[in-house]
């Protein structure tokens, strides 16, 4: 007899019940309100800047994307404490499967943030100039940043599950978003001033891209980056991290 896959047995009702509980009581409304606030400011920023100056727009998209990623990361990092403090085992002793628990967190964190992000870009663009949505110089950066947000939240998800500890998950997230790229740029700068034979800074940009996949495409690579690399890496790495996190959680021996 073939068992239906875990995914097909997910109950939307239970996923939403838990996602609602998590976002209201565990993550906290304040974080969700911040995400909504950023979405609104972001949308206004796009309206005021217009879509004409694409490089200024790109910088703003990138900055906002970073904020989104940090907020989404903070939201899912709470999962670390949920697992570490044993609350998860209380919920999971009721008819909530491990897969549903995971899906609920994905809904309350990454999904909400990605939707907020995309809406905050799409809404003003549609209002201002719908045809700009079809312009690759507009939608490619947006998608690359979406990939980056997804990548950063997947780091928070994976490290929450791995460490079962919110602070450690946040530290891992900040390492990827801020600490590691800053170090790379700093060391790169030192090297660049000492060695002139190789183009250190373009190497630095590539390494920073490992932490911020959107950088593979924009805007620090004036010679034109690769959107496909940025998208493939951003979404690909996040899918892998989400998947590994899920497998690790599902087959972990002790919740």
Q: Which residues bind another protein (CB under 8 A)?
A: 3, 9, 11, 13-14, 17-18, 21, 25-26, 85-87, 89-98, 251-255
Nearest to 103 by CA among 236, 254, 249: 249
Buried b (16+ CB within 10 A) or exposed e, 198-216: eebeeebbebbbbbbbbbb
Q: How far apart are CB 4 and another protein at their closest, in Å?
A: 11
Q: How far is the CB of 254 from another protein (least distance, A)?
A: 5
In angstroms, what is the minimal distance from the CB of 19 to another protein? 11
Instruction: Report the C-alpha gap between 41 and 64 in whole angstroms.
Output: 9
Nearer of residues 100 and 225 to another protein, judged by Cβ: 100
Please, what is the minimum distance in Å from the beta carbon of residue 71 to another protein?
20
Q: Which is nearer to another protein, 90 or 240 (CB)?
A: 90
Pick between residue 25 and residue 223 the one whose CB is nearest to another protein. 25
Give the torsion through C-alpha atoms of 96, 100, 101, 105, to 10 deg.
-150
Backbone phi and psi for residue 186, each to the nearest 5 degrees, phi listed first: -65, -50
Does residue 255 sit in helix, strand or coil?
A: coil
Please identify, using beta-carbon distances, which residue of 3 and 196 lies nearer to another protein. 3
Q: How far is the CB of 158 from another protein (least distance, A)?
A: 20
The token pair that represents 204 in the structure block: 């630095």
Q: Among residues 85 and 137, whose Cβ is nearest to another protein?
A: 85
- CB atoms closer than 10 angstroms to residue 25: 9
């Amino acid at each position: 007899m073939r068992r239906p896959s875990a995914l097909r047995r997910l109950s939307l009702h239970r996923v939403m019940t838990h996602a609602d509980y998590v976002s209201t009581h565990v993550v906290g409304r304040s974080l969700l309100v911040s995400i909504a606030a950023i979405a609104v400011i972001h949308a206004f920023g796009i309206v005021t800047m217009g879509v004409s100056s694409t490089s200024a727009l790109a910088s703003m998209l990138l900055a906002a994307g970073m904020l989104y990623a940090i907020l989404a990361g903070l939201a899912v990092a709470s999962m670390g404490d949920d697992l570490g403090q044993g609350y998860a085992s209380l919920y999971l002793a009721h008819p909530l499967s491990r897969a549903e628990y995971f899906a609920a967190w994905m809904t309350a964190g990454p999904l909400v943030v990605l939707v907020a992000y995309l809406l905050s870009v799409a809404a003003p663009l549609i209002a201002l100039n719908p045809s700009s949505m079809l312009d690759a110089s507009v939608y490619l950066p947006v998608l690359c940043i979406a990939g980056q947000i997804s990548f950063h939240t997947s780091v928070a998800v994976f490290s929450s599950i791995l460490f079962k500890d919110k602070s450690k998950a946040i530290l891992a997230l900040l390492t990827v978003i801020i600490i590691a790229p800053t170090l790379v740029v700093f060391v790169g700068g030192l090297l660049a001033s000492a060695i002139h034979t190789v183009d250190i800074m373009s190497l630095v940009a590539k390494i920073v891209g490992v932490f911020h996949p959107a950088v593979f495409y924009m805007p620090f690579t004036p010679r034109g980056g690769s959107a496909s690399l940025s998208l493939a890496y951003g979404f690909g790495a996040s899918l892998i991290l989400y998947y590994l996190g899920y497998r690790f959680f599902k087959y972990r021996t002790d919740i």
